Amino acid sequence: MNFSIEYMYKHPKSQLKIRFVSDPVSLNEALFTANDLEKTGRIFELTFIDSKGVTWNKKELLKLTEVKKEEPKEISVYFDGGFKSESGSSGQGVIIFFSQNGLKYRLKKNASFTNIESNNEAEYAALWIAAKELEELGVHYEQVVFHGDSKVVIEQMKGEWPCYESNLQNWGDKIETLFKKLQIEPVYEWIGRNENKEADHLVNQALNGKIIKAKKEVVDNF
């Protein structure tokens, strides 16, 4: 999650006071900049505003920094879902890249949900699995990028396309409620199927009855 810095600048030769608001920056950058500004001796009423419009003071942000030291960060998610109408079976695949305690990891998980009615619903179910895995990992107050090859799910979750199917609305509502609880700021990015091959492979494994959950340290850049 990013933060804007809002502060009052006190002119050194007059009673003039000017309010400034910075561009959003990361938590660490916000605290570093605030400390640097305070060294001038001309700053007061300094506050921080997160991407949801919530106001924080410096003490609260320092406490948040301590809480987040051990939590995952730099999180990127790939998700995919598949549905076989002839059998009524579905598969979901999720890959989560993240860093924690100076190390980088890749988590793979798939599942086979029942009572799924369409490929779009299978895709939503995959996004739900990703959300639950983030909760299990202990992710809070983070921006998370979600990559999916379903234009429907991506555009509906971004709010760009309307959603008329009640079952899809229910999935979307559950996902958004969980993100709100975890204070996760989702960023949705559509990718082509060729860029989502690993998640698609997990889907096919689930459809064939092979269920996987594995976490591995990785050395390559995300």
- Ranges of each domain in the chain: 3-68, 73-218
Closest-CA residue to 48 (of 1, 14, 100, 80): 1
Relative to beta strand 143-148, strand 185-190 is: parallel
- pTM for the whole structure: 0.80
For residue range 130-166, list pLDDT tens digits in order: 999 999 999 998 999 999 999 999 999 999 999 999 9
Q: Tell me which architecture the domain covering 73-218 has in CATH.
A: 2-Layer Sandwich (3.30)
Q: How high is the mean pLDDT of the chain?
A: 93
Average pLDDT for 14-19: 86
For residue range 71-96, list pLDDT tens digits in order: 899 999 999 999 998 888 999 999 99
Contact 115, 157 (CB under 8 A): no
Query: Higher-confidence residue: 46 or 86?
Result: 46
Instruction: Identify the residue whose tokens are 């029942």.
Output: 114
Closest-CA residue to 122 (of 147, 86, 85): 85
